[in-house]
Chain A
Amino acid sequence: MIQHLVDGILVGSFLSLGAIGLTMAMHILRFANFSHAELLSIGAYCALVFDKLFESLLPILAAKIGPLSMTGALAISIVLSMAITGLSAVLIDRFIFQRVRQKGEELSMVFASFGMALIIRNIIGLVFGLSAELYSKDIAFAMILSRDPLLLVKPDQVFVLIAALILMFALHLVLSRTTFGFSLRAVAENPSLAQVHGVNLKRMIAAVWIIGGGLGAVAGIFYGLSYQITPVMGRDLVLPIFAATIVGGIGSVYGAVLGGFIVGIASNLALVILPSGYSPSVPFLMILAVLLVRPNGLFGEARA
């Protein structure tokens, strides 16, 4: 039971990171982006490529940091991967979503995002192969936190949780303390009014994609560190991430953080009662429950 709770918190840390970007894009661009989880795959694979590259170029970087399976090479790769994933998110928006947006209704965007998810996921599969990859082939041994009740935690998982919390806190500072953060929130509230006040809408949209892509990349890499990297990880993560945004309320960054942890914990606790085969259904049940009880989520506002 406690083990499930702890696992849930750890899963929640990367779900939250994924959900932040999704909720921001959904709020500002007003469409449910089904290809958001593919940004996690892009990030994870991107880091994999750089990780291998740095390890072969500079073998010193291949040394492990402390008890983690994390290496110096991977640390640099994370930063590069964030930048590249953010950039690809901006490019996908420029070339696909923006053009669909100008033509049609909001739902065409949802539709286009389905198509993009299919394209990205399968191109990744074509390039990297369909089998699972790992950042480190060594077995990461779990630390025994307590024997009764038995509680196991991998050092990587602790690192993931702490790093995720630091990133979220940094984002909180940016959103609440900087002019840029204010502009972003202004655009989310009322795009036309924000433009009247001299906020550059295009730049803000690009910023949302860069933040969403960057945090998504970290989420994907952390997922890869905790489990494994596969071309279908986006497919498996898209529903839990959507559940996190809906639980938290669409548009609320803090809601997304909390929603991610709630979904992570609930999915793991559900395994106490349900056979593990059913765990992919749990996010859907949570979406239904939230829609029944509190349709706008914990922190969301009603908007047609």
Chain B
Amino acid sequence: MIGVISYLVFFSTIAAILAIAVLGLNLQWGNTGLFNGGVVASFGAGAYGTLILGGTPQDGHWGGFELYYPLALLGGMIFAGVLAWVVGKLTLRLRHDYLAIATFGVAVAFENVMRNATTVTGGAQGIRGFERPLQSLIGSGFTYNLMFLIAVLTCLALVYVFLERLTVSPFGRLLRAIREDETAARSLGKSPDKVRLAAFVTGSVIIGLAGSLYGTFYAFVSPQDVLPILTFQIWAMLIVGGAGNNKGAMAGAFLIWGSWTFSGWALSRFAPVEVQLYTGSIQFVLIGMVIVGMLLWRPQGLFPERLVVSQPGGGSRGKTQAEGLT
């Protein structure tokens, strides 16, 4: 029984961390229409940033500044934000698919650099020697994991509230306006490039937060954690949940992560030994099929975005209809 509960805590922690990343992606794709093909770069930037800043010094590589944990967490997020800013600055004013290609490139290059820059990142062995915050106080057992889950859920709730407020704020409406009709938004004196960049960086910082928490939870990060498949998983979560809808995005995270772990477990339990080598391939095909299948048959996701009509008399929320597109 304890085993099941402790597994559920572990599972929920990872799913909640991924849900934060999905929320960040939802701001980019769902609300602004920006294609981020390198979610894993922001995620990894957060994880590596936090672990390098907050870790203990290790022989043979630079880093391990033993910063106060909140500062390390913040540092990871800032690292993710700066990376996104550079890419966004270069690509957001160009054709839409340039961003997709450039972000995909960032993810490839990020993994590549983390794997090779041994003196900073520990190379293929990854970063060790990170002390989880408050671990000396609580110990590393079940209690710690439970506390950590609560902390992650609090972060998730904060991010959710922040994004919900943002979506109904004038800025959120501006984002949707730009997504739906850029020319119209421009004609109202808005500057789509700047707004897009702001949304892209904010989303990446949120994804960076998820990465920081992930790195903190395992007290370890290696290039294996920043492989492209993570991008696809987070994408699948968003598309299943329904782009544009934050609640759906979170539900999608739990649903897809649940199916992913379940399929992995089922394959290792019931599949013949010779098939088990291919567990990864089978799971990757499934993720691909989820993405393509959803696009073909239910592009709006299981929980579609409720479009708020910003015209007097047409809207469902009093707050948004009165102001219109300001």
Contact = CB atoms under 8 A, between A and B. Distances in A.
A104 interface: yes
A115 interface: yes
Contacts of B42: none
B237 to A, nearest CB: 13
A281 B90 CA distance: 17
A299 interface: no
B100 A287 contact: no
Contacts of B113: 278, 281
A284 B232 CA distance: 20
Given A122-B281, A122-B285, A111 B35 contact: yes
Interface in A15-54: 26, 31-32, 34
A104 B295 contact: yes
Interface residues of B, number: 43
A96 interface: yes
B277 interface: yes
Interface string B9-47: 000000000000000000000000101010000000000
Given A107-B33, A123-B285, A287-B105, A112 B116 contact: no
B292 A119 contact: yes
B239 interface: yes
19 contacts: A32-B101, A99-B296, A103-B299, A107-B35, A108-B295, A110-B35, A110-B100, A112-B292, A112-B296, A114-B235, A114-B291, A115-B290, A119-B288, A122-B288, A126-B281, A130-B281, A277-B115, A281-B112, A284-B109
Contacts of B104: 34, 238-239, 242
Given A118-B284, A278-B116, A291-B102, A31 B295 contact: no
Of A99, A114, A278, A285, most B-chain CB atoms within 10 Å: A114
Nearest to B296: A99
Contacts of B232: 114-115, 118
B269 interface: no
Given A104-B295, A111-B295, A130-B277, A246 B285 contact: no
A246 B101 contact: yes
B109 A119 contact: no
Contacts of B93: 295
Contacts of A99: 296
A287 B285 contact: no
Nearest to B116: A277
Contact of A125 (B101, B102, B116, B278): B278
B325 to A, nearest CB: 21
Given A122-B284, A277-B115, A250 B95 contact: yes
B96 interface: yes
B255 to A, nearest CB: 17
A206 interface: no
A118 B116 contact: no
Nearest to A123: B285
Contacts of B295: 100, 103-104, 108, 111-112, 115
B289 interface: yes
B98 interface: yes
Contacts of A31: 97
Contacts of A285: 109
B108 interface: yes
Contacts of A103: 295-296, 299
B98 A291 contact: yes
Given A31-B97, A96-B296, A104-B295, A111 B106 contact: no
Interface string A273-291: 0010110110111011001
Given A96-B292, A112-B291, A246-B101, A280 B112 contact: yes
Contacts of B245: none
Interface string B278-305: 1011101101111110011001000000
A303 B95 contact: yes
B146 to A, nearest CB: 35
Contacts of B290: 115
Nearest to A286: B105
B168 interface: no
Given A111-B295, A114-B291, A275-B116, A295 B106 contact: no
A83 to B, nearest CB: 25
Contacts of A125: 278, 281
B178 to A, nearest CB: 13
B106 A291 contact: no
A110 B99 CA distance: 11
Interface in A105-134: 105-108, 110-112, 114-119, 121-123, 125-126, 130
